[in-house]
Amino acid sequence: KFQLINQRQDFSFGFFTGGLSNPTLVAVSNRIVFANPKAPVYPRLALGKTWNKMTVTWTSGYGISEAHPFVEWGMKGSHPVHAAADTVTFGRESLCGEPARSVGWRDPGFIHTAFLKNLSPEKEYYYKIGHRLRNGQVIWGKPKSFRAPPYPGQKSLQRVVIFGDMGKDERDGSNEYQNYQPASLNTTDALIRDLDNTDIVFHIGDISYANGYLSQWDQFTQQVEPITSRVPYMMARQREPRARFPQQRVAVQRHGLRRRVRRAGRDHVLRSYGEE
């Protein structure tokens, strides 16, 4: 089945003639509408700067003026508590050139980051991302869980997965522009199958191979969400020049961002190890 993911806007399909050399739009479908295009999606875990802190990051269409972002969390059987989240975004002016500023541009929505503190070592925690609207209604994400890391020096088996240069691909088999990472699904699926035997993942860049097309980041975070929502998914440096893409250092030219840092350590789509 053809797959559409929530990217905070409606979709329509266009029918073109003339091929890539002389495309002519001849028909447009009716709009395909999500039940709530602003809903919180794609939670991403990362270790905090100290062993007993976990970072939760996610994406939504809710700006801070519309809704209060937070994480509800706690151990099973305990009374849940709320951790408030920061909210950031970026515009075309943050991008360094084509195609990111033109045909590759897509509104990134809002990126939210909360810190879950004072975790007990190796305990199981449950959490839900949410947004409280001005009328008091709460828009929830799906419930998730994670296992806290051990205390430093504690005798504990920690199973670590390290890999690099993954990219993304279309789960439904459809083609896309510059479609050259089909094997990324093999890596993703292998990680998902063995997730119960994994404590932390290190992904050494390159990451999504967005190449200036912002929609690729939503597609990437959706692809890895079964992993990132359950175990810390840490990013490590690569050899190319870097800038912070909301929550990760990435190649400046490859992903279209300036070298400047927007609020160091807090603007994150995915998080580098040892940052907060």
Distance CA 149, CA 92 (A): 38
Amino acid occupying residue 188:
T
- Residue 114 has φ and ψ, to the nearest 5°, of -125, 155
The owner of tokens 């029918």 is: 15
Closest to 119 (Cα-Cα) out of 159, 87, 71, 162: 71
The CATH number of the domain holding residue 137 is 2.60.40.380
Query: In this structure, is residue 8 part of a structural domain?
Result: no
Give residue 134's pLDDT: 95
Query: In this structure, is residue 72 part of a structural domain?
Result: yes
- Residue 29 has φ and ψ, to the nearest 5°, of -75, 170
Distance CA 263, CA 269 (A): 13
CA distances from 263 to 119, 203, 271 (A): 26, 23, 14
Distance CA 56, CA 158 (A): 21
Q: How many domains does the chain have?
A: 1
Give residue 178's pLDDT: 66
Query: In this structure, is residue 7 part of a structural domain?
Result: no
Instruction: State the residue range of the domain holding 62.
Output: 14-272
Query: In this structure, is residue 65 part of a structural domain?
Result: yes
Query: In this structure, is residue 236 part of a structural domain?
Result: yes
Query: In this structure, is residue 4 part of a structural domain?
Result: no
pTM to 2 decimal places: 0.84
Per DSSP, 149 falls in state P
pLDDT in tens, the chain (276 residues): 888 999 999 999 999 999 888 999 999 999 999 999 999 999 999 999 999 999 999 999 999 999 999 999 999 889 999 999 999 999 998 888 888 899 889 999 999 999 999 999 999 999 999 999 999 999 999 999 999 999 999 999 999 999 988 988 888 888 776 666 888 999 999 999 999 999 999 998 788 888 888 888 999 999 999 999 999 999 876 655 443 334 433 333 333 333 333 333 333 444 444 444
69 close to 109: Cβ distance less than 8 angstroms: no
Query: In this structure, is residue 233 part of a structural domain?
Result: yes
Query: In this structure, is residue 215 part of a structural domain?
Result: yes
Structure tokens at 154: 């504690």
Amino acid occupying residue 94:
S
Residues 6+ apart with CB under 8 A from 65: none
